Each structure stands twice: as C-alpha cells, then as structure tokens.
Amino acid sequence: MGEMIKMVVVLTILSVISGGGLKGLEEWAKPKIENNVMNLVKGPAIRAILEAADNDPVEDRFKIKDGDQDRNIFVGVFGGTADTVVVEAAANGYGDKVGMVVAINMAENTLRGLAVTTHKETPGLGAMAKDDPKFAAQFVGQSISDAFGVTTDGGQISALSGATITSRAVCSGVNQAVEAYNRLKPQLEEKIKGMGK
C-alpha cells in the first residue's frame, strides 16, 4: 500500500512539473508564433490589398478594444491621408473557420479589398476563395451600407463554383468586419487622426 501511495505522489509531482513546463513553453512561444503569422500570413495579404499605400500598414497597426477582445487594426495612408482600415474576421466555412482581412475605405464607406488568410477548405473548390483573384475582386468598391451575400441568397456576390458554403463564409466574415468597423468607427477616427500627414 505504501508503494502505491509513493507512486501516486511521484506521478502527481511529475504531472504538475510537466504541465507547468508546457504552459511556460506555450507562453514563451506565443509571441513568436503571432509574429510569424503576422509576417508570413496576414502581412503579405494586407500589403497586397493596400499595395498603393504610402505607408506600411502592417508596421502602422494598433490594437483597439472591442468588447472583451483586442482587435488588430491596420491603417492605409493614401495621398497623405489615413483613410483605410483593415479589420480581421473569421466565419465558419465547409472545412473549418475561414480567416480573412477586410479593407474599408473610411471616406467612401466602401470596401477597398479583402483577402482570405487561413482556411481548411477543399483544394480546387473552397480553397479558390484564397486563390482566385476574381472572387475577391467582386467585393472591391462595394458599399458597406448593405449586407453581403451570395446571389443564390439574394446577395450581390457570385459564389465560387462548387463552393457555395465557402462563399457564404467569406460574405459572413465581411459582414462581421463591417459590423466591427461600424461599432468602432468613432474610436478608429480618433486613433488615426494625424497619421500620414
């Protein structure tokens, strides 16, 4: 009986040490992972959407409080005026969440562009949301006053062939980004004052 108690105590101690070590490793790696995601996934997509910007929108990013979460906001300066913000969003697709970045022109209340950054959609079908520039181009210049949807649901966006669920996810993500933008607009306007001049 004494041996069993010793074994339980030793296993408990080892479990606590292992768990603490893993948690410490996670905390140590978290900023490095976020930095890699920013530099290798989100950053290139944002720079592509805002390629004509006078600034580096990834370098000029800031966090803003949105309820209980912090949102990354990326700013595009055009002609000396900070008039575009990029908001991140994610929506349920066919395989998993479809992550995206959505650029909104604040002066015109239109979409400047969008890019899918992460997904687990079917190659050749849903994956085309990221790979087909014609799909994303449908959103450019569209007013944010109306919700986005695919044409089969009465919306203005033509779904990818064989990937209606993914297309709906992108529309849903854009709508989420627009809702966040509308909710945060006064704070965003205050935060970007003086940028780019």
Cβ-in-10-Å burial (0-12, 13-18, 19+) of 155 comes to middle
Residue 190 has pLDDT above 80, yes or no: yes
**Nearest residue to 76 via CA among 99, 52, 100:** 52
Instruction: Say which residue the tokens 């004509």 belong to.
Output: 52
pLDDT digits (tens, 9 = 90+) for 1-39: 678 888 888 788 888 888 777 777 677 766 665 655 566
Residue 65 has pLDDT above 70, yes or no: yes
Partners of 76 in the β-ladder: 84
* DSSP β-ladder status, 62-66 and 97-105: unpaired
Average pLDDT of the chain, as a whole number: 87
- Residue pair 101/46 in contact (Cβ under 8 Å)? The answer is yes
| Distance of alpha carbon 112 from alpha carbon 115, whole angstroms | 11
Q: Taking residues 89-118, report their average pLDDT.
A: 93
pLDDT digits (tens, 9 = 90+) for 33-61: 565 556 656 888 999 999 989 999 988 88
Of the pLDDT bands very low, low, confident and very high (cuts 50, 70, 90), residue 195 is: confident
Query: How confident is the model at residue 155, as a pLDDT?
Result: 92
